[in-house]
Amino acid sequence: MNEKEKNRKEWVKTVAIIFLSILLVLTFFSNTIMNYSLPEVATQYVESGNITAKVRGSGVVESGDPYSVKLKTTSSSNVSGTYEVESIEVKVGDKVEKGDVLCHLVAGESKALKEAQDALDKQILNYEIQILQGDATNDVLAHARTGNTSSMSSYQARILAKEDEIKRLEQELEEAQDTLAAWTKQQSVTVTADDEKKKLDAAQAAYDAAQAVVNDSQISQWEANITNLTQSWEETYNGTIIFTTDGKVKDMVLASGATVSGGDAESMEVVRTSINTLRDNINNRKVEIGYEANKAKLSELKAALDKAQKNYDEELDDQKDNVSDKVNDWTKEVTNRQKRLDEAKTEKTKLISNIVNELNWGETLSGLQENVAKLKAEDVSNEVTAPISGDIISVNVKSGQETPSDNILFTIQPEGKGYTMSISVTNEQAKRLSVGDRAELANSWRYDDVDVVLSSIKPDPQKPSQNKLLKFDISGGVTAGQSLSLSIGQKSANYDLTVPNSAIREDNNGKFILTVTTKSTPLSNRYIATRVDVEVLASDDTRSAINAPLYGYEYVITTSTAPVEPGKQVRLANNN
């Protein structure tokens, strides 16, 4: 039992020793293992040194004072015709002397003249079509073709006269409209025919007065009483009362075989007396009121009344017809005056259109006619010759093809004139340069005796507040259109802090470098990438001078095997 316990203790001891040994090994080598997972960086010292700043750029060589060769007509008549090129005698790069033939044109009638004449004829045809369409009159074209246009004062006088006519017609129209409105209003007013109405009323009054006498109520009552007495007696006694011409009782005749006596005889006498008394009353009343005279003229008064009524009715009809006729007449007059006014306005518009056309057409035709006349007077040679000596730097025509007369046929670099080239640089770069500085060409061994001199420093039109445009004068073995790369600037200065160009980094916050900061640990040192914002003062091909809160001789990271973030641990090259 003791032996087994002893063996078990030995085994535990052995395991513990192994565990502690492994732990010790891992502790000592953990830093080395971790280092292999960190970005490896290369570093250099921040140190003082000289910087020779140069500005570099590329550009295209241009002719310093190119001469454009055009046909003769463009310089004198400014007519854009076309001419056919028969053959070309030079190519780009050829040297020519003044008077050398550059190309030949096809002989024959000038196409420029033909085109100018066609343009004139076409314009005249266009104007004739406008005349047929009613947009102008024949006089306008005649004046335009002959140049016989009126003075501006004459045009203004014609327009003013037409405007005065329009004002007069407007006033006449307004007067007619007012008159029509008055007659139209009259239609809604009751027609009275006052004079005839007075006559009618008088006739009616006379007739009514006579009728009132004839129809006197007292007489009518008495006549009614006589009638009643007569009818009553005749019915009672079955007899007949015979009257005299003056309406009194002549006789009272009984029926055949009838007799009266006693009281009946008295009754007959009472009736006779009563009737005769009433007749006397009536006759007296008629005399009193003039009955017979009124009755005699009643028919005359009725005739006069009927005539007055007829005259009145006819007068009303005449007045109504007169108002209606007036409304119709003035309606037509308003229409006619409106028509005359509209015609005058149309004539004014036409007049102005004619004047404008006359001026425009005259100017247009005058220019076209002048071009034709000048082209007819010109003698365009079939040969295009070099006006100056120099090098052909561009040929813009081809044999067998037509060319507009205002096109540039050839471009010549004048003899003795240099070339230019421009590049854009920042304002900061431009501060290092001065007019007169000489530039060096990249791969200068490829060029023959080429001299490049800075001739001007001006704001770049594309970025006037940020960049400057450097213009260089170039002489020697170059040609227009050639691309050159150059560097310029030889000013050298000593700076306290310089770093390799590869150490300069930039993000949205500006330019910075990453320095290496060392942190000591019990087992080893740790290296941390630390951001330092910098201002680049100058640069050359390899190093840049900076302004930064550094003392000098700090390690700055130049390259790394993986992206490095500020504040992260890194591994130094050749230092595991």
Q: Taking Cα atoms as reference points, which of 276, 283, 280, 272 lies closest to residue 216?
A: 283
The answer on pLDDT for 75 being more than 50 is: no
Which DSSP string corresponds to 369-409? Answer: HHHHHHHHH----SEEE-SS-EEEEEE---TT-EEETTS--
Which has more confidence, 517 or 413?
517
Query: pLDDT at position 77, please?
Result: 45
Q: Report d(CA 69, CA 180) in Å as an integer.
A: 79
Query: At 78, is the pLDDT very low, low, confident or very high (cuts 50, 70, 90)?
Result: very low
SS3 274: helix
Which has more confidence, 454 or 81?
454
- Please, what is the end-to-end C-alpha distance for the chain in angstroms? 53
Strands (E), 510-549: 510-520, 525-533, 535-539, 543-547
SS3 443: coil
The answer on pLDDT for 276 being more than 70 is: yes
pLDDT tens digits for 448-487?
677 788 888 889 888 888 888 888 777 777 777 778 888 7
The answer on pLDDT for 76 being more than 50 is: no
User: What does the DSSP 8-state code read for residue 89?
Assistant: -
User: What does the DSSP 8-state code read for residue 26?
Assistant: H
Pairing of strands 40-45, 569-572: parallel
pLDDT tens digits for 196-212?
767 767 878 877 877 78
Query: At 74, is the pLDDT very low, low, confident or very high (cuts 50, 70, 90)?
Result: very low
**How crowded is the C-beta side of 60, counted as CA atoms within 13 Å?**
3
Q: Once rounded to an integer, what is the mean pLDDT over residues 153-177?
A: 83
**Is the torsion defined by CA of 121, 125, 130, 136 positive or negative?**
positive
pLDDT tens digits for 338-385?
998 898 888 788 777 777 777 666 667 666 667 667 766 655 667 788
Which class for 534: exposed (0-12), middle (13-18), buried (19 or more C-beta within 10 A)? Answer: buried
| Residue percentage of the chain with pLDDT more than 90 | 6
Tell me the pLDDT of the chain averaged across its residues: 77
Strands (E), 191-248: 240-243
Task: Map tokens 């891992």 to a residue.
Answer: 26
Query: At 440, is the pLDDT very low, low, confident or very high (cuts 50, 70, 90)?
Result: confident
Q: Taking Cα atoms as reference points, which of 410, 418, 408, 381 lies closest to residue 90?
A: 410
Q: CA Rg, the chain, in Å?
A: 68
Q: Report d(CA 48, CA 553) in Å as an integer.
A: 9
Q: Report d(CA 34, CA 571) in Å as an integer.
A: 10
Which class for 385: exposed (0-12), middle (13-18), buried (19 or more C-beta within 10 A)? Answer: middle
**Is the torsion defined by CA of 166, 171, 174, 176 positive or negative?**
negative
Query: At 256, is the pLDDT very low, low, confident or very high (cuts 50, 70, 90)?
Result: low
Query: pLDDT at position 266, please?
Result: 78
The answer on pLDDT for 280 being more than 80 is: yes
The answer on pLDDT for 387 being more than 70 is: yes
Which has more confidence, 78 or 486?
486
Cα separation values, 403 from 55, 313, 323, Å: 44, 97, 82
Contacts of 457 (CB under 8 A, 6+ apart): 430, 433, 435, 468, 469, 470, 471
Q: Say if residues 48 and 414 touch (Cβ distance below 8 Å).
A: no
Q: Say if residues 469 and 382 touch (Cβ distance below 8 Å).
A: no
Which has more confidence, 210 or 319?
210
